[in-house]
Amino acid sequence: MNEVISSSTTPSLLDDSEDLSPSEEIGDILTHIKSESDQTDFNVKSRNTLSSPSSPIGKRQQRLLKNRLSAALSRQRKKEYITDLEFKAQILTTEKMELQFSVTKLAHQNLEALNNLDILQKRIKDVQTDNELLKKQIEEKKSKSNSNDKDTNSKEKDSKTNEKLAPPSNTEKK
């Protein structure tokens, strides 16, 4: 009789071929336990043998049920953990893409700034060159102006000196 009980109830507990979610699996196990206790076709003696902690079959079934529940809970926790990791990975991937975009954008802006800097440095060099040329031209004009002033002043002095030395002309006497 013990063989009949173990062969009729044990295969459904050990059947791992079903692909159920852990919560469904826990529900099925609890349903199985409840249906086992509700069955009326067993006599009291077989029920006591089935659920008796002292019987080897009852201990084995209890251990199997506990292991099955523990495994189902473990799979559920693992599934939640993996889902959480996948969610975090997705967030990090999105953040990585945003940062890569920012890096690319900043690199482009940096390149533009360097190009603008080169252009401005060339303009400054050109302005400095033009400024030097203008300074030279101003100096040349000043020196010409000074030499013209000296020539004019010396000519005026010479003409004044010549007027003093020259006899008065007839037109002035009249």
Q: Is the pTM of this model over 0.75?
A: no
Residues 152 and 34: their CA atoms lie apart, in Å, by 132
**pLDDT tens, per residue, the chain with 174 residues:** 344 444 444 444 444 445 666 667 677 766 766 565 555 444 444 444 444 556 777 888 889 999 999 999 999 999 999 999 999 999 999 999 999 999 999 999 999 999 999 999 999 999 999 999 999 999 988 888 888 777 776 767 667 666 666 566 655 544
Residues 80 and 130: their CA atoms lie apart, in Å, by 74
